[in-house]
Structure 1
Amino acid sequence: MAHSSETVAELPAITADPASQLVSSSGSLFRKKRFYNHHTPQAMTVPGLFRLLGRYLFARPAVPAPIGPVPVPVHALTASQLLVPSVDTLYRLGHSTLLLKLNGEFWLTDPVFAKRASPLQWIGPKRFHEPPLMPEQLPALKGIIISHNHYDHLDEMSIKALASRCEQFYVPQGVGRKLQQWGVAAENITEFDWWQSVQVGGTQLVATPARHFSGRGLFDTDRSLWCSWVIRSPALSVFFSGDTGYFDGFKQIGEAYGPFDITCIETGAYDRDWPDVHMLPEQSLQAHLDLNGCYMLPIHNGTFDLALHDWFEPFERITALAAAQQVPLLMPQIGEPVQLSVPQYWYPWWRQHESELVGIIEAMGTD
């Protein structure tokens, strides 16, 4: 496997997936020890950087985080509760952390259970809500699937707590080195380039392209890869976007692996100043359509304040956009079970604080 860390074990079954031959796609670009997008995001200019700084200082959103004694409803979970459903089930644990029960096996995406998405737990974006359960309460995991190494997707505390509870970690190239530093055994890590896949029992995992970047400090920018994921069981096909800007890769993934029963698409932490690496809601919906998805689950929202929009804005915007396009959404509360065979009705739970939202929502509608 190209560009793989020499110290990270690889599963013999990992291959370039035949389905990727249906589109004119290739693996990631790697040169001079860095990974690159096929469509390079536009670099921010110096005037743009000063404009963005001014917005952060003087144009903060009215409601960047929820208010009230119980700002975000959370359904507390226990391991025994998770073991009960016999059907395929999804639980949104916050931000981009999803727990999937497929064929009776548990899979976890981008686990972040820390109080802050930050290298330091006394400063940085703080959670709006507690997790529905902590890592040590999770049942045994068949696998953990990671999209990239940013702090809101890869958390040291969570990985250390989960290392003994997870059979295998599935990560983009270069991420395995960090996991080993945190105590994960090399043989329990499998690294992927774009369009590579592995069959794990009845579940197929495919690392697919994304348009983003990586880094956890000043000197490791793009030293590891970023990706989206296709997760296919005999009964269901799920797409997990990780973080990404909009690009034509969604159409390629849809051609190779669609249709998808559920697309889990980032819809949050967006801004007009960085659309190349985080999609605006209109682009998130278009990505779902490009992928030939049925139900859409907006993720990357409702947990951390990472941008210059009100915390509830992603929910409101994607709800209106999806209604106009007749796209069925999944909008569960944190920890609420979603039966994937027959997804249930949802309601706009984020509107529970009417005094907080009503005037702002009306103002948004007049923009």
Structure 2
Amino acid sequence: MGRFDHLATRPARGPADILRWKVLDPLTGKHGKPRRDAEPFVTPTRPWSRDLVLSGAPSLTWIGHASFLLSMGGTRALLDPVWRDAPGPLRRLVPPGIPLADLPSIDAVLLTHNHRDHFDTWTLERLGATPVYVAPLGHAALLRSVGATKIVELDWWQSATVGSLEITLVPARHWSMRAPWDRNDALWGGYLVRGPEGTAYHSGDTAFFDDFARIGERAGTIDWAMLPIGAYEPRWFMKPQHMNPDDAVEAYHLLGARNFVAMHWGTYQLTDEPPGEPPARTRALWAERKLPEASLWLLDVGETRALGR
């Protein structure tokens, strides 16, 4: 039994569920192979704003998937950094938004959980021992193994300060596993990051749950909410662990956030929906609800936005 089994999403998914998804359902015609758009989809990219990022001005850059470079108050933080391009599910559809060699100095690395599309040891080894590594309980040994020396482990609602940033781990509806024998031995979560220019929220991987309202209440104002819109089909398998666009827009509403920053789409083909579907569905929902167009940030990979209230 894992240390955090009592907090893990239910129902848990295991080998029998993967067999049903990947083999049995296609054989019985319940669903086919992963769906594709009628036309090939290429994730939008653009050159990163080098001068803005290197200046240390408040900004947010989408590296791809759940990886961001966030700068506030002159402190730079990477969230769930993954630069690796690996065979299989982690074969990238698009290169990282900033080349690893071009990264400016990093003060903090924030990790939401130990799944390999969020916690990449190859990347962390190359980031080195200089940053402060912030992670949920149970990650210290893995971080030490990749050379990290300044490590802060947090429980839900605990906080740490790095430079000008106050970093708070908040709940998420998910689970953890690095190997078959360590399921839920490490905690998972999202982050509230408060800086002089405002408050950012990164949900990590999560299913929809009512605690979004509590996170919003305790945060006060959330200026930028980074929420996942992809990796959601087949729904019977993914609903306990990943949101779809409908869930993400409802989570944004419960959080009371000013801006919605879409993530967790277009970088890997992890699940059955086509890569272009998540942003299309999100745009349609936004228009249907008549929400302010400027508050929807469907960034291109590499796109940098200046931050300010």
TM-score of the aligned structures, taking structure 1 as reference length: 0.75
Give the Cα–Cα distance (whole angstroms) in 2 for the partners of residues 65 and 182 of structure 1: 42
| Mapped pair 1:61 → 2:34 | yes
Report the CA distance between 1:104 and its aligned residue: 2.0
Equivalent positions of 1:35-184 (< 5 A) are 35-36=4-5, 38=7, 40-43=9-12, 51-53=20-22, 54-55=24-25, 59-63=32-36, 67=40, 71-77=42-48, 82-84=53-55, 86=57, 88-116=58-86, 122-164=87-129, 166-184=130-148
Q: Does residue 308 of the first structure (1) align with residue 277 of the second (2)? A: no
Shift of 1:259: 2.1
Once the 2 structures are TM-superposed, how far is the Cα of residue 251 of structure 1 from its aligned partner? 1.0
Pair 1:195 & 2:157 matched: yes
Q: Match for 2:209 among 247, 251, 259?
A: 247
The answer to whether the aligner puts 1:208 opposite 2:170 as a matched pair is yes
Q: Which amino acid is the alignment partner of residue 105 of structure 1? A: T
- After superposition, residues 311-326 of structure 1 pair within 5 angstroms as 311-325=275-289, 326=291
Q: Match for residue 349 of structure 1?
A: none
8 Å Cα contact 2:108-2:162 kept in structure 1 = no
**Which residue of 2 is the match for residue 288 of structure 1?**
252
Q: How large is the RMSD of aligned CA atoms in angstroms?
A: 2.4
What is the deviation of 1:175? 1.3
- Secondary structure at 2:258's aligned position in 1? strand
Instruction: Summarize the Cα distance change of 1:136–1:81 in structure 2 as closer, same or farther, 3 Å threshold.
Output: same
Larger Rg: 1
Structure 1 SS opposite 2:213: helix
Question: How many angstroms does 1:50 deviate by?
Answer: 5.3
The answer to whether the 8 Å contact 1:148/1:226 transfers is yes
For 2:296, what is the secondary structure of its paired residue? coil
Task: State the secondary structure of the residue aligned to 2:175.
Answer: coil
> Helix, strand or coil for the counterpart of 1:183?
coil
- TM superposition shift of 1:184: 1.4
- Whole-Å Cα distance in 2 between the matches of residues 124 and 147 of structure 1? 20
Give aligned-pair identity as a percent. 30
- What SS does the aligned partner of 2:166 have? strand
In the alignment, structure 1 segments of 5+ residues that lack a partner are 1-31, 117-121, 343-367
Q: Structure 1 275/139 Cα, relative in aligned 2: closer, same or farther at 3 Å?
A: same
AA matched with 1:106:
R
Q: Which amino acid aligns with 1:112?
A: V
Query: Which residue of structure 2 aligns with residue 331 of structure 1?
Result: 298
TM-superposed deviation, 1:35: 0.8
Asked whether the equivalents of residues 63 and 97 of structure 2 are also in contact (C-alpha less than 8 Å), the reply is yes
1:161 CA displacement: 0.4
Match of 2:240 in 1: 276
Q: Give deviations 1:59-92, integer Å, cap 9, x for gaps.
A: 1233279847xx3343344865621363x11100
Q: Where in structure 1 do 4 or more consecutive aligned residues deviate above 6 Å? A: none
Distance 1:238 1:290 in 2: 15
TM-score, structure 2 normalization:
0.89
Q: Would you say how many aligned residue pairs link Structure 1 and Structure 2?
A: 300
Once residues 56 and 329 of structure 1 are traced to their aligned partners in structure 2, the CA distance between those partners, rounded to angstroms, is 36
Please state whether the residue corresponding to 1:260 is helix, strand or coil. Answer: coil
Contact 1:64 / 1:309 at 8 angstroms: preserved in 2? no
Instruction: Name the CA distance, whole Å, in 2 between partners of 1:210 and 1:55.
Output: 29
1:195–1:207 CA contact under 8 A, matched in 2: yes
What do the CA deviations read for 1:281-340 (whole angstroms, capped 9, x no partner)?
Answer: 111111111111111011111100111101111101111112222152101211111112
AA aligned opposite 1:36: D
- Paired residue for 1:257? 219
Conservation of the 8 A alpha-carbon contact between 1:132 and 1:335: yes
